[in-house]
Structure 1
Amino acid sequence: MAKTYIFTSESVTEGHPDKVCDHISDAILDEFLRQDPDSRVAVETLVTTDFVTVAGEVTSKGKFDIEKVVRDTIAEIGYDNPALKFDAKTCKVIVKIDPQSPNISQGVTASEQKEQGAGDQGLMFGYATNETDELMPLPISLAHKLTKKLADVRKSKELAWVRPDGKSQVSVTYVNDKPQKVETIVISTQHDPEISNKEIRKQIIDKVIKPACGKWWHDDIVIHVNPTGKF
């Protein structure tokens, strides 16, 4: 008997708050490591409407204007307009970074008696699959392609009304652990207020979903675009 099930994955755009935080923390880490490859950086970021907090502990010889890195990163993502209620030029930025705790440092720092230790623990797992060229499962591969396409049409101004925040969700039917067809796609995207929901749906299907799906596109996919209304 065939084993049939639906597998669902989601992805978010670079303008989604979760990704904005990731980008800011990554940019700060990159600059510390650029200046001092031996840097140890534990930095977290929180964002909300026109507000950013960066906090954590750092051991590094690197010195730079962290607030400038924060603002440059936000602008690069695309938040450069007061109408978005999150503007790189005017948002409030609070930075609270202290030296690394000496108790953690003594467990991490290498010495003649011991190798360098870890300042935290983490468990990761995953697998490669031949379902896609990226060796990733088809649902997450398509979800990432959809959010990447959303960013592309925004930055190229092909769909100039698209704003930075968005997400995708893709559900795929599997039979005997092999993907058979895409069942459902959900796209939510911020947008300028002037465009209608009907026009948003049409343009997202034509300019984002169909190109991103490629050979997996078919006319029976159940599509939800901004299903809760204006965004």
Structure 2
Amino acid sequence: MNKTKKFISAEAVGIGHPDKIADKISDVVADYLIEKADNKQEARTAIETLISGDDIIVRGEFKAESEANKNLDKKEYWKSLYWNLKNEIIDKVFKPLRDKKCYNFNIKLSEQSEDIAQAVDKENQEIGAGDQGIVYGYATNESENFLPIAFNIATRILQEVEERIRNKTLLNAGYDMKSQVILEKTKDNYKVHTVILSVQHSKNYDEFEFKTKLSELIKKAAKVFLPNINYDFNILINSSGQFIKGGAEADAGVTGRKLMVDTYGTIAHHGGGAFSGKDFTKVDRSGAYIARYIAKNLVKAQLVDKAEVQLTWAIGKPTPLSININTFKTNKVPVNLLIRSVRKFAPLKVKDIIEKFNKQEIKFSAITNYGHFNNQNTPWEQTDIANKMKRYVLAQLKKRKK
């Protein structure tokens, strides 16, 4: 009897994809507002961007008081803010894309709602969640960075292509690109079934040479995560035909429209809230980051082979209302002990999460692309509580046996 084949799929997008341009703009604006605030810990941002054709529209709310702006009247302040943000966006977003196009900027921000502000900043210094929400974090032991192999390959392919564009060894390529990887689950590991890659290109290009180089990059990227790779897999490059028009010229881009690309490439759940443009009081962002931190530490502690951590929040409340852990039947110890170890060692209060994350200066715009959990230097990628969790759980098991 033939068993049904099991396939795992993941996708990624490049830095020139219109949705990621919108995400980047929102993060650049958030970075700027937080950096200019006298008290960075009290700065608040919730920025949304729409980019389409020649138009860039930035909207949102913020709270970031600055001594330097107190002497300006409101009209002068908003005028100064507009030009500063416009220059920041051009320098941080479009220059790296080598995009010299002229855009119509429409930037209008308002001050954070008093209702939201009073829910977040309590008189007793306890910080409440900036919104209600459900967030997920995921980790697996199938790769060194605790991310799914399919997502790793999809992401690595685009990073390889981008590097070749920058060093001019892949000519006539543009930064708008998208990859998709389909792996077939085998008895011991995975085998590559299909890789789909779309890369923007100039009108006059050598199609055969272009696709040959991309095929080589695909195989090189896949081999990093599957050393014993099979090379008999399907490769589809620009399967719809030509891909000349890209970026916002071809498709509108909106902040938060690539949620699965920001996390685990469809392998795990996503709560639905976007990350980009938001400060750490927004648990859509910080809650998802701490959920990833918890999942990764559980896997690092070898208490599970994979874990998906779900946290639920209510606006104004300092801690999650519930914690759920799905181990996909890979847990070595009872799940209730895993949850107890999380409550004991993981920072769960919004205030504690922010303090942990702010121990090193985080630039949101530096982590916009290629997944928010792909930079191993960020604080939520640390595995500093894994040993504590393991010792605690083993001690609790020992007590139960007595």
Question: Where does residue 54 of structure 1 map in the other structure?
Answer: 58
Question: Where does residue 11 of structure 1 map in the other structure?
Answer: 12
Q: Which whole-Å deviations, capped at 9, do the CAs of 1:171-191 have from their partners, x for residues lacking one?
A: 001135x53201100010111
Question: Where does residue 212 of structure 1 map in the other structure?
Answer: 221
> What is the CA–CA distance in structure 2 between the aligned matches of 1:221 and 1:155, rounded to whole Å?
28
Question: Where does residue 167 of structure 2 map in the other structure?
Answer: 156
Alignment of 1:103-118 (within 5 A): 103-112=115-124, 115-118=126-129
> What is the CA–CA distance in structure 2 between the aligned matches of 1:49 and 1:218, rounded to whole Å?
42
- Higher normalized strand content (fraction of residues): 1
Alignment of 1:18-167 (within 5 A): 18-36=19-37, 37=40, 38-62=42-66, 64=81, 65-81=84-100, 87=101, 90-112=102-124, 115-167=126-178
Q: How many residues align?
A: 221
- How much has 1:72 moved relative to structure 2? 1.4
Question: Where does residue 212 of structure 2 map in the other structure?
Answer: 202
> What is the CA–CA distance in structure 1 between the aligned matches of 2:96 and 2:192, rounded to whole Å?
30
For 1:162, the aligned partner's letter is A
Asked if structure 1 preserves the Cα contact closer than 8 Å seen for 2:32 and 2:85, the reply is no
> What is the CA–CA distance in structure 2 between the aligned matches of 1:91 and 1:71, rounded to whole Å?
9
What is the DSSP-based 3-state SS (H/G/I as helix, E as strand, rest coil) of the residue aligned with 1:98?
A: strand
- How much has 1:77 moved relative to structure 2? 3.5
Instruction: Say what the alpha-carbon RMSD is for the aligned residues.
Output: 2.0
Asked if structure 2 preserves the Cα contact closer than 8 Å seen for 1:13 and 1:150, the reply is no
Question: 68-77 vs 157-166, which deviates more?
Answer: 68-77
- How much has 1:52 moved relative to structure 2? 1.0
For 2:219, the aligned partner's letter is K
Whether 1:183 and 2:193 are equivalent positions in the alignment is: yes
Question: 57-66 vs 13-22, which deviates more?
Answer: 57-66
> What is the CA–CA distance in structure 1 between the aligned matches of 2:172 and 2:10, rounded to whole Å?
26
Mark the structure with the bigger radius of gyration: 2
Asked if structure 2 preserves the Cα contact closer than 8 Å seen for 1:172 and 1:179, the reply is no
Question: Where does residue 227 of structure 1 map in the other structure?
Answer: 239
- How much has 1:8 moved relative to structure 2? 0.4
- Higher normalized helix content (fraction of residues): 2
> What is the CA–CA distance in structure 1 between the aligned matches of 2:98 and 2:55, rounded to whole Å?
12
> What is the CA–CA distance in structure 2 between the aligned matches of 1:153 and 1:31, rounded to whole Å?
30
**Gap runs ≥5 in structure 2:** 70-80, 244-402
Question: 221-230 vs 190-199, which deviates more?
Answer: 190-199
Asked if structure 2 preserves the Cα contact closer than 8 Å seen for 1:172 and 1:180, the reply is yes
TM-score normalised by L of structure 1:
0.88
Q: Which whole-Å deviations, capped at 9, do the CAs of 1:111-168 have from their partners, x for residues lacking one?
A: 13x6222222232223221211111111001011011111111111111211110010
Asked if structure 2 preserves the Cα contact closer than 8 Å seen for 1:56 and 1:97, the reply is yes
> What is the CA–CA distance in structure 1 between the aligned matches of 2:219 and 2:198, rounded to whole Å?
16
Asked if structure 2 preserves the Cα contact closer than 8 Å seen for 1:79 and 1:164, the reply is no
Higher relative contact order (CA 8 A, sep 6+): 2
Question: 63-72 vs 221-230, which deviates more?
Answer: 63-72
Q: Which whole-Å deviations, capped at 9, do the CAs of 1:47-96 have from their partners, x for residues lacking one?
A: 11222111000111256511111111222441424xxxxx2xx1111101
> What is the CA–CA distance in structure 2 between the aligned matches of 1:209 and 1:23, rounded to whole Å?
26
- How much has 1:217 moved relative to structure 2? 4.2
For 1:105, the aligned partner's letter is A
What is the DSSP-based 3-state SS (H/G/I as helix, E as strand, rest coil) of the residue aligned with 1:97?
A: strand
Q: Name the % identity.
A: 30
Asked if structure 2 preserves the Cα contact closer than 8 Å seen for 1:197 and 1:229, the reply is no
Question: 55-64 vs 143-152, which deviates more?
Answer: 55-64
- How much has 1:46 moved relative to structure 2? 1.1
What is the DSSP-based 3-state SS (H/G/I as helix, E as strand, rest coil) of the residue aligned with 1:227?
A: coil
Asked if structure 2 preserves the Cα contact closer than 8 Å seen for 1:78 and 1:164, the reply is yes
**Gap runs ≥5 in structure 1:** 82-86
- How much has 1:18 moved relative to structure 2? 1.4
Question: 101-110 vs 52-61, which deviates more?
Answer: 101-110
